Each structure stands twice: as C-alpha cells, then as structure tokens.
Amino acid sequence: MSIIKQKTDQAVGILKELDIDVWLTYVRKTSEIHDPALYFLLEDSWLTWQSALIISKDGQKIAICGRYDAQNLEKSGIYDRVVSYDESIKDPLLNVLNELNPQNIAINYSIDNIAADGLTHGLWIRLNKILEGTVFLERLISSEKLLAALRGRKTEAEIERIKKAVDISEEGHRKVTETAKLGVSEEDIEEVLLKFTKDKGLTVSYPPLIHVGPTTTIGHGKASPDIKIKKGDLINVDYGVFYEGYASDLQRMNYILGEEEDIPPTEVIRAFETVVNAITASAEVLKPGILGWEVDQVARKIVTDAGYKEFMHALGHQIGRNVHDGGCLLGPRWEKYGESPFYPVEEGQAFTLELHVYVENHGYCSIEEDVLVTKDGCEFLSKRQLELPLLKL
C-alpha cells in the first residue's frame, strides 16, 4: 500500500479521535506554494488550479480540482471521488460540503505549527468569500492538532525510510572521519559530503554544517575555504539526507589530537561528556505524555549545572517529511516557539536530541541523535556517539 494511502487512512482515524467531521485542504498552483499537508494527500503530482482535498470522519475521500488535474488524481486511486471543474471551484465545493454537512471543518492554518500552516492568507480570504452566507463559515477550525498527529505518528513504512536516511547519514559521517587531515578545510569536508550524497542519488535534507576548530562560524553559516583542520581542533559536522522523501539529521564529533597529546585536554573531555550525558538524561525521560519543554529542561539543566552557557535553541525537533517536522517541540518555553513546547509527546514520533557546549581554543562540541518514541520510552534510530574519535594526524 502506498504511503499516501496509509496516511489518508490514518487521517480518518485521527478525525474520529479528535471528533473533526471534515478536513479540507484548499490549495492552488502547488508548484509555486506547497502546503506541507500535501505530503500526505498527493502522490508526486502538482495541482494547478484551486483544488480542495477533502477527507471526512466517516472515511470519504473527495478531491475537487481543475479539469486538467483530474486524470492524475483519479489514477492515483487515493480519492473515492474526483470532481473536476472549468470555471470556478465554488459550486462543486459548496455541493460537497452541503452533502457532508460537517459541524466543523479543519483547514490548514496554525499560529505555531509550521507544518500545519500551509493555507495562504489570500486563499483564506477566498475561502471565506466562497463560504459567505453559508453555515460553514462559522465552522472552520485549525487542523493543527490533526496534522501534528498525522505527521508525528509515523507508520512503519515511514520509520523504515527515516531509519534508512539515518544509516546513510552515518555512512557520510564516517567519510568525514576518513577525510580529516591537517590542512583540509571546512569547504573540503562539505564537498566530500555533497559528493557522497549525489553519488547515492540522494539530496541533503539541509545544507551540511561544518565546524572546524575555534575560529569557525557557529550556526547556519557557510563552510569556509580558509578554516583548515589543525591540531587541537574539535570538528563538528551536521549532516542529513532525504531518503524517499524522509529526512535524517545527525551531528557527529571528531577531535584532532594536539602535539604530544594521547588524550584530549580535560576541558574537551568534560564538554563531550556533558553533551553525551545530557542526551542520555533527556532520552531517559522521553516517552508518551511528557510535555516537550519538560524534556528540553532536563538536558538544559545538565548543561547549565555543569557551568556551561545555555544553548540557544531547542533540544529536539521532529523529523519526517522535513528535517524540522513541526508539531511537538522539545524546546524551552520561549515566545518564538509558541505552543509547540507545550504539546505532549506521542508514540511513533521521531525526534532529534541535540545540544552543544563551546570549548575555548578547541571549538564547537555538539552531538545530535535521532530517536523514535515507543509505547513507554524511546529508542535510538542512530547508533549513538558515545566516544570521541581521536585522530592523530
């Protein structure tokens, strides 16, 4: 069964659970603006004119689209009924709604859940005009809970793809360890990863981030051709791929031993262990029901208790169809994160666990693992980094 078939069936179950009568995804020109909900509603095809993809609590799947898109939707076999139009979507849409007579209609807007905020404001106004004078205008609600559940709760086929993406990232990270030589630049490492990815016939799930030594630019900066590996450097690489539409997101560390060093300096060891311990402690509390911020807090406290500066990002985000998959966030209760740290964790969600501390004169020490929430805990999708590879160059 195709993943789209699985996910649309899963959506029916979630509609029942949330007591939502109808889920309405209203889009146009999806090659220009792509509502992320379409990842679960369409095989790899585009919709050109205004289209409505409708799933009802009682299991009906109805698509309304322009004449030239109808054939593809029919062939996909996802929708029980495909209604096509030439001039205006208004009448066919109202006909379907009148027939279903939903008491509430979930549409894709959300203040905090980016993955559930695919409806543009212009289309929102259009939808309001279409529904003007009908009972349905007052029945619109946000699909954020529905989409958080649908996107968060991975099916087995989805988990397999993520796992495969994780495996390939790990292979890429091993390539980095093999590549690390004195004089190799951040940009060189980036090129190795991009070539590795291309050779696999895949794409990266985000531009790889390469941090070499203490002079690196931390964050989403570009890899530098001028910053080159030297003794005493911490090397951090953040690299993930898309495998059949599903993302991995992993960070790994290497350390270049200094002149006459057999082990790293104490401050490097302590930093590495603090990061590992914070991941361990947060994984131990990660299970269905706990709130996102509560997990984040466990890791954050270990870092600050150890005397390090707080990391200024969330401990973990979901992964799936995107590398930042929206919904429940294992993050602090900061304004910019809105409601997302207050969502409870659910079984089947895949999260990153990632944090860093900075080590003066050596560089950025950060690890990122990928985990899957199970019935009563979590399991690592990645092979954990528990040791710091010590490269004698």
Binding residues for a copy of itself, rule: CB under 8 A, are 28-29, 31-36, 45-46, 48-50, 66-72, 75, 86-90, 109-126, 206-207, 217-222, 312-313, 322-324, 326, 334-336
Sequence-distant (≥ 6) Cβ neighbours of residue 227 within 8 angstroms: 185, 186, 212, 213, 215, 216
Q: How far is CA 256 from the centre of its chain?
A: 32
Q: How far is CA 38 from the centre of its chain?
A: 15
**Least distance to a copy of itself from the beta carbon of 27, Å?**
10
Sequence-distant (≥ 6) Cβ neighbours of residue 138 within 8 angstroms: none
Measured between alpha carbons, how far is 372 from 131 in angstroms, rounded to an integer?
41
Determine the longest span between alpha carbons in the chain, in angstroms.
80
Taking the least distance from each CB to a copy of itself, the nearer of 115 and 350 is: 115
Taking the least distance from each CB to a copy of itself, the nearer of 41 and 283 is: 41
**Least distance to a copy of itself from the beta carbon of 312, Å?**
5
Taking the least distance from each CB to a copy of itself, the nearer of 11 and 93 is: 93
In the chain, the amino acid numbered 100 is: L
In the chain, the amino acid numbered 72 is: N
Taking the least distance from each CB to a copy of itself, the nearer of 125 and 263 is: 125
- What is each CA distance from 161 to 3, 27, 142, 154, 369, in whole angstroms? 11, 27, 29, 10, 16
Neighbours of 20 (CB within 10 A): 22
**β-bridge mates for residue 370, sequence order:** 352
Sequence-distant (≥ 6) Cβ neighbours of residue 94 within 8 angstroms: 130, 131, 134
Angle, helices 3-18 vs 156-179, to 10°: value is: 120
Taking the least distance from each CB to a copy of itself, the nearer of 20 and 107 is: 107
Taking the least distance from each CB to a copy of itself, the nearer of 367 and 378 is: 367
**Least distance to a copy of itself from the beta carbon of 169, Å?**
17
